[in-house]
Copies of this chain bind each other. A is one copy, B any other.
């Protein structure tokens, strides 16, 4: 029996990666006058990967990585005004409305009336994530909200301990195999993988083994209630 269902935030409850993609397109546009940078996406990912250890996840780190990439690929020719434009593009991400994925509101509202405890376990910048939760209009439907800097086995173990959750009665729902599935299975929980249309390069791992016990893959969160009923009657 599942007693606690936890949801990832970005690209599971609300669109996120698409917003980064839009900003990245604007970034490419700003640098176009300086030359042809065919490898710009790869350069940006390389900078992001390097900076992750210094800055963690989130919009501010992303803006700083865009600035550093711009300086690097233009051999320091990029003008201050264009750097300001990069910062402005990043700030605009904060003003962008939080768009829920299809079916999310219905599914979460329905589950909130049930007996299972609902959590959000989301990784990223505290300030970004709090703001997105508030703007999502969903915050009140969850019993527990945990914003963490990394989602590894020790993070999940700490959260399960803190809230006295039996791993065998815990189900995590998310779009990232690396962050929402593998570490959860490792601590003895179960996981539902709902792939998003785009996966950030840094989150990509080998496809999850579909036959793995305790892991399910769904095309959409709308299919979650049916899966939960099946599990309850299994």
Contact = CB atoms under 8 A, between A and B. Distances in A.
Interface in A196-213: none
Contacts of A79: 76, 80
* Majority secondary structure, A binding face: helix
Number of copies: 2
Interface in A130-150: 130, 147-149
Contact of A84 (B55, B68, B87, B125): B68
A71 interface: yes
A104 interface: no
A88 to B, nearest CB: 10
Interface in A87-102: 87, 91, 94
Interface stretch (A59-67, A113-121, A215-223): A59-67
Nearest to A61: B60
Given A130-B149, A149-B126, A149-B130, A67 B55 contact: no
A125 B61 CA distance: 11
A119 to B, nearest CB: 14
Given A64-B60, A125-B127, A127-B125, A78 B80 contact: yes
* Those 5 A-B pairs whose CB atoms lie nearest each other, nearest first: A56-B127, A60-B60, A126-B126, A76-B80, A71-B80
